[in-house]
Amino acid sequence: MLLLLAFLLPMIGGAFMIKLKEEGRRRTASTVLILATDLLLIAALFFGRSLTVIRFTENVTMSFGFDNFGRIAAAAAACLYTAVCFYAYEYMRMEERPEQFFAFFFISFGALIAVCMSSNLITMYLFFEILTLSTVPLVLHELTKEAVTAGLKYLFYSIGGAFMGLFAVFYVYYCSSPDASFVMGGFLDGAKISANYGLFLAAVMIGIVGFGTKAGMYPMHGWLPAAHPIAPAPASSLLSGIVAKAGVVCVVRLVYYSVGADNIRGTWVQTAWMCLAMLTVFMGSMMAFCEKIMKKRLAYSTISQISYIMLGLSFLSPEGLKGGLLHLMQHAASKGCLFLVAGVFIYKLGVRNVTDLKGIGRRMPVTMWCFTIASLSLVGIPPLGGFVSKWVIASAALSYGVVPFAYLAPAVLLVSALLTAGYLLPVTVDAFFPGRDKEEESAPKAGDAEPSPLMTVPMIALCACTLVVGLFGPAIVSALGF
């Protein structure tokens, strides 16, 4: 029952949120709902028992249960959603229809929790689709022509990717043993795989690309730079920080917990997956480096950074999976924080271009320090989370042992880290050291100040999360058996 309450409460509460048009009542209801959901989720993480809600056939069921991988993903989701909820109280004052935003905010939160606690591919796929449908309204919230176009683009990409994933789900179930519940190493019937091994590999590759659409992996990455600049900053933070990770969760469940890494290790599927991941890492970094609009730059950065996770996973090794999990956690915090900072620039100053941020550090030092810390984590500077995750992924690449990938992958990660420093750190330098010509213009003026604690505290908390991942992440992941 705890498992059901953990995701049904935010979904049902979100449906009623659409009626709360008065700000005070909406804030009170949202605070109660987010905290109650967090408490229920914590209880479910530790005490929730697996359950089957519906049994369609012998091996097709709607079932829920937390394993350690699901616990990590759900905890990351709860941290970011909680931070964004309080931030949005202030930010959504500048937007119309805030009650609509909070309604779909909570519905998507419940759907994402359900994805993390799903016990089989059918249950996971169902809530993966609900997650897509509930996040489309967050993208097109402003209802301008550009917003509607971006929302439809996100929807079409997501539907296309989901249908590719569904093909893989069907074929996996065809090859499955009677019990199709997730288990590390997979649950497939070897005889059925051998009967048509070529089709089996094609189905797995189609599934990786399909679910990878949500994660922004090439060639299905086009929705990210379209959706992020248009969506409200809290929505962009969620989409980039954790909703896109739903694609990663599905890929992990497909490859590691359904198909089994041993069944595709050394095949063309693994080679193609590694190549696509490395290409996406490099391409996303290059496009972010050339982009001047802050939120679009961060969107391209997301394409690159999430493919770090995909690259780690593609090595099909325990070390690669561990690195992917560490990067999932740190990227949720650091990129979530960066989008919230970009929202502060829009909310307080109406600034969207990185070239207009010179001297902003004097007027918003706390905000810019949050930007700097999150940026350093993405670059990979110790002791922040990005350093340990990239270190583990690079170690997994070197342990892979197959030339040229064992050396090419770390080289791509290094070049991407340099490009990341090139498109993020100059913003910090210009903000705090604008030059003498700009110094007088950037001096504090009447009315210039940091945003309210509702916006600064969530950003600070997410920066703290990146430090926690850097200091304790490897120990936490190892303690959970990875």
For Cα atoms 314, 316, 319, give the angle at the middle one, nearest 5 degrees. Answer: 100
pLDDT, average across residues 382-394: 94
pLDDT, average across residues 180-203: 88
Q: How far apart are CA 218 and CA 346, in angstroms?
A: 30
User: Tokens 């591919």, residue?
Assistant: 121
pLDDT tens-digit series, residues 210-265: 999 998 898 888 888 888 888 899 999 999 999 999 999 999 999 999 999 999 99
Sign of CA dihedral 159, 160, 166, 168: negative
pLDDT at 386 over 70: yes
pLDDT at 446 over 60: no
pLDDT tens-digit series, residues 47-79: 988 898 888 877 788 999 999 999 999 999 999
Give the pLDDT confidence score for residue 443 in this predicted structure: 52
Segment 407-416 long-range contacts (CB within 8 Å, at least 24 positions apart): 408/278, 409/274, 409/278, 409/311, 412/278, 412/281, 412/282, 412/311, 413/281, 413/308, 413/311, 415/282, 415/285, 416/281, 416/282, 416/284, 416/285, 416/304, 416/308
Q: How far apart are CA 74 and CA 64, in angstroms?
A: 13
The first and second tokens of residue 90, run together, are: 């202030």
Contact (Cβ atoms closer than 8 angstroms) between residue 68 and residue 476: no
Chain-centroid distance of CA 397 in Å reads 23
The confidence band for 447, taking pLDDT boundaries of 50, 70 and 90, is very low
The first and second tokens of residue 177, run together, are: 């043993």
% residues pLDDT > 90 (the chain): 70
Contact (Cβ atoms closer than 8 angstroms) between residue 309 and residue 328: yes
pLDDT tens-digit series, residues 313-346: 999 999 999 999 999 999 999 999 999 999 999 9
pLDDT tens-digit series, residues 411-445: 999 999 999 999 999 999 988 887 665 555 545 55
Q: E strands of 277-386, at which residues?
A: none
Contact (Cβ atoms closer than 8 angstroms) between residue 217 and residue 280: yes
Give the pLDDT confidence score for residue 204 in this predicted structure: 95
pTM of the full structure: 0.94
User: Tokens 């109660």, residue?
Assistant: 32
Contact (Cβ atoms closer than 8 angstroms) between residue 321 and residue 249: no
Name the residue with higher pLDDT: 107 or 145: 107
pLDDT, average across residues 132-159: 91
Burial group, residue 75, by CB count within 10 angstroms (0-12, 13-18, 19+): middle
Phi-psi region of 452 (alpha: psi -120 to 50; beta: other; left: phi over 0): beta
Q: How far apart are CA 305 and CA 14, in angstroms?
A: 30
Contacts of 367 (CB under 8 A, 6+ apart): 341, 344, 345, 360, 450, 451, 456, 459
Alpha-carbon distances of 51 from 70, 71, 176, rounded to whole Å: 15, 16, 20
Residues, the chain: 482
Give the pLDDT confidence score for residue 55 in this predicted structure: 87
Contact (Cβ atoms closer than 8 angstroms) between residue 81 and residue 7: no
The confidence band for 448, taking pLDDT boundaries of 50, 70 and 90, is low
Q: Residue 13 is which amino acid?
A: G
pLDDT at 194 over 70: yes
Cis check: omega of the bond before 219, within 30 degrees of 0: yes
Q: How far apart are CA 186 and CA 262, in angstroms?
A: 9
Q: How far apart are CA 388 and CA 410, in angstroms?
A: 14
Q: How far apart are CA 33 and CA 51, in angstroms?
A: 24
**Chain-wide mean pLDDT for the chain?**
90
